[in-house]
Amino acid sequence: MARRYDSSTTTFSPEGRLHQVEYAIEAINNAGTCVGILAKNGVVMACEKKVTSSLLAPTKTSEKTYKLCDHAACTVAGLTADANILIDQARLRAGRYQYQYVEPIPMEQLVEHVCNYKQAYTQYGGLRPFGVSFLFAGYDTHYGFQLYQSDPSGNYSGWKATVVGANNQAGKSLLKTEYGVTSNKEETKEEMKTNDMKGDDVVEMPDLEGALELAVKVLNKTMDATATSSDKMELFSLTLDDKGECVHKILTADETQKVIDKVEAKAAAAATES
């Protein structure tokens, strides 16, 4: 009788795996894609908007992007209901840090807090893990602009560019060849050196425009859609204004369309070239 409850969410399998955590990560591979790209002067996050029924009431601010505090935002891939709980946690943590130190919370600490909260559900309580992966974009005075990814296991890492959700492998391979590619075609068209300690010299960060275009390009690849349109994707950017304050911007439909048009024009030009 006890055997029925053996596949508890928080116990190891004989092979040393946590199945529930792995299934949770799988669940996210069916969710709407999110791309995150670090630019020279900001961070860009682009998401696929899955549900586009005309009967849906228009949302107040956003469907996939959430503001955590003045200097941080996140996008969600996975179960939105689960995400809401974690977003509350993140907002609370950011607020409490600000209350205690009268200073904005460093990005990594915010991410680590959310991840520690997720990790608890893989170790105790007998409750299932959160079926959410996040992309966190933020700015702090210690390390500038940063991009982090976290998954249901509670693991997180910092990225220059990454993809979560459906078809993320295709997105990632595109980023590998295209991120940091400058006009100097010969030396930079190779794949980004991954284990190279001097990797930062080789990779040149795009500017905001370039990052937005690259994000759209990645979404084009990951979305099965035939034609990408501005109502199927949401573009977000985090930058600093001249006073040094963070600006959270969700691009309007027009602005999004302009980026899509630019990407399509460049693709057409490249096609005629070759």
Partner 1 sequence: MDTVFGVEYDGGVILAADQANARSILIYQSNLDKITHLSSHSAMGVSGPNADLVNFTEYIAKNLALYELSNDGLKLSTHAQAHFARGELATALRKGPYQVNVLLGGYDISSSKASLYTIDYLAAMTKVHYGCQGYASNFCLSIMDRDWKEGLTKDQAIAIVEKCIKELQVRFLISQPNFIIKCIDKEGVNVIKYGADPADN
* Environment class of 91 (CB within 10 Å of its CB; exposed 0-12, middle 13-18, buried 19+): middle
CA separation for the pair 117, 154 (Å, rounded): 8
β-pairing verdict for 65-69 and 72-78? antiparallel
54 DSSP assignment: T
CA separation for the pair 207, 243 (Å, rounded): 20
- Count residues binding partner 1 (CB under 8 A): 10
Stretch that binds partner 1, among 5-13, 26-34, 103-111, 196-204 (CB under 8 A): 103-111
| 177 lies in the binding site for partner 1 (CB under 8 A) | no
| 116 lies in the binding site for partner 1 (CB under 8 A) | no
| 100 lies in the binding site for partner 1 (CB under 8 A) | yes
Please give the structure tokens belonging to residue 228: 């990408």
Closest distance to partner 1 from the beta carbon of 156 (Å): 14
Reduce the DSSP state of residue 250 to 3 states and report it: strand
Closer to partner 1 by CB, 38 or 110: give it: 110
Closer to partner 1 by CB, 84 or 109: give it: 109
Closest distance to partner 1 from the beta carbon of 99 (Å): 8
Closest distance to partner 1 from the beta carbon of 70 (Å): 16
Chain positions 186 to 225 lying near partner 1, rule: CB under 8 A, are none
CA separation for the pair 63, 235 (Å, rounded): 11
Closest distance to partner 1 from the beta carbon of 102 (Å): 4
Distance of CA 54 to the CA centre of its chain: 26
Binding track, positions 31-70, relative to partner 1; x by CB under 8 A: ----------------------------------------
For partner 1, the binding residue among 88, 103, 200, 245 (CB under 8 A) is 103
Stretch that binds partner 1, among 31-39, 64-72, 100-108, 236-244 (CB under 8 A): 100-108
| 261 lies in the binding site for partner 1 (CB under 8 A) | no
Termini Cα distance of the chain: 66
Chain positions 131 to 160 lying near partner 1, rule: CB under 8 A, are 141-142
CA atoms within 13 A on the CB side of 243: 3
For residue 231, count other CB atoms closer than 10 A to its CB: 12
Tell me phi and psi for residue 131, to 5 degrees: -90, 60
Task: Tell me which residues touch partner 1 (CB under 8 A).
Answer: 99-103, 106, 108-109, 141-142
